[in-house]
Amino acid sequence: MSAAMAAAGHWELYGTRGLLVVACGDDARRMGFSVESVRPEASPPDTPYEVLTGHESRIAATRPAPERDRLVTRFWVRKDAALQAVGRGLSLAPERIEAGFPGDRGTVTVPGPHGLDVPVSVRNIAFSSAYEFAVAVPEPLALTPAFSYPVG
Ordered per-residue pLDDT tens for the chain, 152 residues: 566 555 555 656 666 777 777 766 665 557 888 888 886 655 444 456 788 999 999 999 999 987 888 999 999 999 999 998 888 877 888 899 999 998 999 999 998 777 788 999 999 998 888 889 998 988 876 555 555 566 65
Give the pLDDT score at 115: 77
Distance CA 75, CA 97 (A): 10
Q: What is the pLDDT of residue 141?
A: 62
Separation of alpha carbons 84 and 137, rounded Å: 9
Instruction: Give the whole-angstrom CA distance, residue 52 versus residue 58.
Output: 9
What are the DSSP E strand ranges found in the chain? 10-16, 19-25, 32-37, 105-111, 117-125, 131-138
- Provide the whole-model pTM: 0.79
pLDDT at residue 71 in the model: 92
At residue 37, the pLDDT reads 84
> What's phi and psi for 105, nearest 5 deg?
-135, 145
Exposed/middle/buried for residue 117 (C-beta within 10 Å: 0-12, 13-18, 19+): exposed
